[in-house]
Structure 1
Amino acid sequence: MPTAPDNRSTRSASDAAGERRWDAIATAFAEFADTLVADFDVLDFLHQVTVRCSEVLGVSAAGVLLSDQRGNLRTAAASSERTHLLELLQLQTGEGPCPECFRTGEPVAVPNLKAPAATVRWPEFAQAASALGYGSVHALPMRLRGDVIGALNLFDTEYGPLPPATHRLGQALTDVATIGLLQARAVDDRVVLARQLRHALDSRVVIEQAKGVLAERTGLDMHECFELLRSAARNRNRRVADLARAIVDSTETR
């Protein structure tokens, strides 16, 4: 008499994978909401948002663009260096899903970057993203009610739309990150909010300069230099931007 297959090991592995995914989702929500701390660092927070979203949503990379006090988009964070370059390209050309998402306040989906719908709409961006190995990109608005402060870009090497459940989870994570960012920035005082966001975006310029200095000194690539900078700042209990400024000013060597 044939023996029935034992599916217990398969179920066990599936259950373990499911538990790890739910744990990652819970961790992401907890981190995005926990911004009312004395040493809150907005740039480190936004970088963590991009890293967590790419992990939890199963995409290749993520990036964040935020608006300054004049309503202009500026690059704020990216989970990888090549994603950062694409964020800069979107700002320089005005092309891409992130600027459109910010202007309309609605999600933008590009399931195939090589399709005419993308190449005609955003020729430079679509070509650059494809050249870097990405097949699809989606943008989710960072908004509180009617106030849109930026957008989250999700890049993937695979083609196709986000599954509906993944899209809903991505927007939920984006909404919580937006609320966490705003509550840490005195949401009731728009002047304070604008000033603090401007400081964070200006600090990004100094960080890019410090990455260049570290790259020249160490021979590491730009992504590795940023991770080195973040790690050194945490070990020394300093803000990333403060350490970056010290490296640019040559008062710190590493």
Structure 2
Amino acid sequence: MAEVLRSLRLSGVNGAARASVWALGAEGVALTLLAGVDRLPEPLWCHPELSARFEELQFTLGEGPGPDALRTGAPVQAPDLARVRTDRWPALLPAARELGVLGVCCFPLGIGAIRVGVLTVLCDPDRPPGEQQYADATALAAALTVACLDGGQDPRRGEEPAGPGMDVPQASSLHRAAVHQATGMVSVQLNVSMEVALLRLRAHAYADERALGDVARDVVARRLRFDDDENGPISPDGGKG
């Protein structure tokens, strides 16, 4: 982990995913930042692919250790998801099990009331993280926070970084650009806040068992629109969305 932290100071965070997995002895890691004016979680890097799929699952459902860590500003440890109460993350737990994710620990990136992102670490319940791994993950999250705050201006506005630390996602390069755009479109269609619009998108994605990004792309392409609370989502050809 000392080598990983040194590399962050010298060359920034991009490409650190694989080294972080090795240093933490984890099943996977993912780094997600809050980007754009709507402050949606935006993945910066993940390794291996399972980490990316789990991050997309948390984003679609809007629940899990990652969202909890972002909301509270405190680490959330669930190294064995089978031992978590079913009512804590009712939608996530069965979906994570089906995905093959058995344990997760999440560490928020931030200072005080400022939240800039979250570090997600996938765990093997048969090899739960020990005190050293927990300390290493905490140190890594702190280093990533400093890199984010030092490498840019205000990360909450998604501005171009001024230094070599962290490449804060820009609107033109967001992996979830369609979700950002669709949230704004649904907000206008329903005359509701961005937060409520995102909840409506998530509810539709969950009901249809689809990824949130796929639903968002339908909204952006005008294959799906949210007319009002009574009628719900509809497709332009008159069929239900």
Query: When the two structures are superposed, what TM-score results if normalisation uses the length of structure 2?
Result: 0.62
d(CA) in 1 for partners of 2:65, 2:117: 12
- Answer yes or no: is 1:204 the counterpart of 2:172: no
Match status 1:157 vs 2:117: no
1:155/1:139 Cα in 2 relative to 1: closer, same or farther (>3 Å)?
A: same
1:200 and 1:55 mapped to 2: Cα distance?
31
Which of 6, 15, 34 is matched with 2:10 structurally? 34
Q: 1:100 to 1:160 in 2, by over 3 A?
A: farther
Offset at residue 114 of structure 1 (A): 1.7
Equivalent pairs counted in the alignment come to 169
Residue equivalent to 1:181: 148
Q: Which deviations, in whole Å up to 9, do the C-alpha atoms of 1:197-234 show, x marking residues without a partner?
A: 3417834359xxxxxxxxxxxxxxxxxxxxxxxxxxxx
Letter in 1 for 2:116: I
Give distance in 2, aligned partners of 1:200 and 1:126: 31
Amino acid across the alignment from 2:9: A
Cα distance in 2 for residues equivalent to 1:166 and 1:200: 34
Are residues 183 and 120 of structure 1, via their aligned partners in 2, closer, same or farther at CA, if it must alter by over 3 Å? Answer: same
Q: Which amino acid aligns with 1:115?
A: R
Contact 1:109 1:139 in 2 (8 A): yes
CA distance in 2, matches of 1:88, 1:145: 27
Say yes or no: does 1:62 pair with 2:29.
yes
**Largest Rg, 1 or 2:** 1
CA contact (8 A) 2:21 2:28 kept: yes
Residues 107, 140 of structure 1: 8 Å contact kept: yes
Provide the rounded CA distance (Å) in 1 between the counterparts of 2:75 and 2:42. 18
Residue 50 of structure 1 and its aligned partner are, at CA, apart by 2.7
Cross-structure match for 1:232: none
Q: 1:86 to 1:185 in 2, by over 3 A?
A: same
Q: Where do 4+ consecutive residues of structure 1 move more than 6 Å?
A: none
RMSD of Structure 2 on Structure 1 (CA): 2.5
* Aligned partner (choices 40, 43, 52) of residue 75 of structure 1: 43
Query: Is 2:70 the counterpart of 1:102?
Result: yes
Q: Give the Cα separation in 2 of the matches to 1:142 and 1:83.
A: 18
- Corresponding position of 1:142: 109
Q: Percent identity?
A: 22
The runs of 5 or more residues in structure 1 that have no matched partner are: 1-24, 207-254
CA distance in 1, matches of 2:64, 2:156: 30
Instruction: State the Cα deviation string for residues 65-123 of structure 1 (Å, max 9, x = none).
Output: 21113322222221122211110111111111001101110000113212242x32113
Q: Deviations over 1:27-50 (max 9, x none)?
A: 201111225xxxx6xxxx34x333
Distance in structure 2 (CA, Å) of the matches to 1:129 and 1:157: 13
The 1-side partners of 2:171 and 2:17 are apart by 16
User: For structure 2, which runs of at least 5 residues remain unmatched after alignment?
Assistant: 161-167, 178-241
